[in-house]
Structure 1
């Protein structure tokens, strides 16, 4: 009966996805159908409802709506423009300088907002036209924006890393994950810049004027208090001054006060900001609800043990197993959104990699970066569609220039997978 339940679970799930049923509903329906094969209707439906409810009964998850709200305030509060001007004064004079600006601004804004979508929409809507004026094809600008915006999911604060901490069952703390994401996120950003340098030199893109030190200092001063939020939030968590949830509330207050001082947001704008953040939070929380129910069903059916036994029996080399897991997650990421993928597949693969000596924090960074690739690929790729939309180019035209950037992301993924020190150096240094 267990095998039949597993077959029904996956068959119904993929069928519903192919029928374009929203992911959250696909997860919930397939989970319910599978469980009803084992127990009666009323207890089965009651159990699913209980698991959905208890799945979000977590103090750590309170950080998500606060970080979503903080990101929405920052998106509308003129912070993106200040980031772009500061980044431009640093690197615009280099070959491909404006593309570097896009990457740096995405890294900074994505890290502060904790949202790849916010970074892609805020930075892309500003940078695409600027880059086109200096001879950059809109398709290339969109590709740079799409891939660089994912760095904010690694560089803290990151909602996805909070979700992984929950899915790991406490084996990876939010503080350790946050500090572990810095070097991989920076490495990814620099790798994207490396390819941009090659393209800029071969295609002879125009260089910008070198900014005088006075302009750099002015732009840094304008962006300083925005950048300071990173140190307040992450530094406070790492130092043990406050939890991730408390840090998220501080981020909202800080961002609101800063936006009001800058004058880019008025008090009358907050009802609409709150409504938008509430809608986003509702979608995320519903995904978490259904994903936690499916994750519980996996444990109920013994799927993590089956997967662990299968991989350890079929492959004797741990490096091959890591490769198989990465390839599996790359495929999953193409059709499943990041939040449910983290919640569903962490309980399956985490026991396997831990048995092979990989630290849970290290695996969290590998998992998130892996699924970042899926955000940039069809058919589900959220960031792909957002980035193409703000650049006003069709997805089909973006795919070709996007492919080298996706290859860069996969190369960085392999480096982070097989060189654990990239992820674990800072957590080890801070004894997290």
Structure 2
């Protein structure tokens, strides 16, 4: 009865279009009232204890770092460097967009932040060069989803905290999948742009131009090496790396690039606070939801049901992927990870998957959710950046979703893509 009340009430609250965090909290309250085994104060207590965590501190700090980098001129300089080296290729500016999104992902950890930062710069340029608007906005939305796969990644932090998996190992595991997706997107852009006749930049590459662009972007280019090198070199933890990233972004924006003025600094911090507040509420309520699941032994029940249905590991993985893709269409990444990882991880480990590999599979699935209608957040951000209705973005997104699903299947069934680097650091 408690399980039925929990999931039925959650579905009803989501259908009523309540904010996801509030819907999860109210569903947890309904389950407590139905079961009577926990006190009503349990939810309030969990809201505090679940966010009172050192690893969780990385989330608001990475959010702040991403906002500061977006406002402080980092993305503009990364775009200039990528354009020098890739701009002359067929579909050059499209390829440059993917490369910049990959690099910005290594300093922001957020998909929507990557879309907003890169999209605001490349949309006018691509329109001038004759690219169609539906292709431009769909490309930016898709490339921005790499922001949660290449480390540092906020969803990986949430998964690590939810399951007790090493965040450092997850970060290392995200490198090759993120690069794979980026390369496949680059090949797709080249093929499609060549078919459409969209040529690259006609300006010749010169040593002076390349050196000037790299020199101007040197502080932006150094940033990911400081953050990730510090983590993997054992100098600081992922949480401490997030604080280093935020301070570094502030110094670059205010004192080095001098593009972060007092007025936009206040609004930038305000945006970070708003995003952090929403995220923390979701984490708090989702933690209560997860603990109720554990008390009711729902993860074990689902694991047994799936294993009794089939013991074929390939079929089980396909079922998990289909479920996560469907969930990604309707639920944001944070609550999806908080709610589903305790349920699905036992299923994954029962067929021999490591928690790190499954974490990467889960994050990639939910990254696809960023670009899947009806609630893909990157679609909304791209539409806002391009000042176009949502329909314009969704018309161009289907080929990109197909490319992402192909990459997902490769990552799911070719384990070394995710596990090669984590195994090297765990030796």
Runs of 4+ in 1 over 4 A off after TM superposition: none
Deviations 1:158-212 (A, max 9, x none): 11111110011x2x21111111111100111111111111111111112212422
Q: Counterpart of 2:27?
A: 30
1:194 corresponds to 2:194? no
**1:139 aligns with one of 134, 138, 154:** 134
- Cα displacement (A) at 1:253: 1.2
Q: Which runs of 5+ in 1 are unaligned?
A: none
**2:3 aligns with one of 6, 9, 12:** 6
What is the number of residues matched between the two proteins? Answer: 425
1:319 corresponds to 2:314? yes
Q: Counterpart of 1:399?
A: 394
SS at match of 2:97: helix
1:250 corresponds to 2:244? yes
SS at match of 1:358: coil
How far, CA to CA, are the matches of 2:160 and 2:7 in structure 1? 25
How far, CA to CA, are the matches of 1:273 and 1:125 in structure 2? 16
Alignment of 1:97-108 (within 5 A): 97-108=92-103
Q: Which moved more, 1:181-190 or 1:109-118?
A: 109-118
1:364 corresponds to 2:363? no
Alignment of 1:344-383 (within 5 A): 344-383=339-378
Tell me if structure 2 keeps the 8 A contact 1:179–1:426. Answer: yes
Alignment of 1:207-246 (within 5 A): 207-209=200-202, 210-246=204-240
How far, CA to CA, are the matches of 2:302 and 2:133 in structure 1? 44
Q: Counterpart of 1:174?
A: 167
SS at match of 2:217: helix
Q: Counterpart of 1:279?
A: 274
- Cα displacement (A) at 1:21: 0.8
Q: Counterpart of 1:117?
A: 112
- Cα displacement (A) at 1:267: 4.6
1:303 corresponds to 2:298? yes
Tell me if structure 1 keeps the 8 A contact 2:382–2:393. Answer: no
How far, CA to CA, are the matches of 1:350 and 1:47 in structure 2? 25
**2:18 aligns with one of 21, 32, 36:** 21
How far, CA to CA, are the matches of 1:213 and 1:187 in structure 2? 29
Tell me if structure 2 keeps the 8 A contact 1:183–1:422. Answer: yes
- Cα displacement (A) at 1:135: 0.6
How far, CA to CA, are the matches of 1:430 and 1:228 in structure 2? 22
Tell me if structure 2 keeps the 8 A contact 1:71–1:115. Answer: yes
Deviations 1:338-373 (A, max 9, x none): 001011111001111112111111111110000011
How far, CA to CA, are the matches of 2:115 and 2:22 in structure 1? 26
SS at match of 2:410: helix
Q: Counterpart of 1:333?
A: 328
- Cα displacement (A) at 1:430: 2.0
Q: Which runs of 5+ in 2 are unaligned?
A: none
Tell me if structure 1 keeps the 8 A contact 2:149–2:367. Answer: no
**1:60 aligns with one of 47, 55, 61:** 55
Q: Counterpart of 1:183?
A: 176
Tell me if structure 2 keeps the 8 A contact 1:184–1:422. Answer: yes
1:93 corresponds to 2:88? yes
How far, CA to CA, are the matches of 1:213 and 1:181 in structure 2? 33
- TM superposition score normalised by structure 1: 0.96
How far, CA to CA, are the matches of 2:362 and 2:356 in structure 1? 10
- TM superposition score normalised by structure 2: 0.97
- Cα displacement (A) at 1:268: 5.4
Tell me if structure 1 keeps the 8 A contact 2:62–2:109. Answer: yes
How far, CA to CA, are the matches of 1:163 and 1:130 in structure 2? 36
SS at match of 2:426: coil
1:417 corresponds to 2:381? no
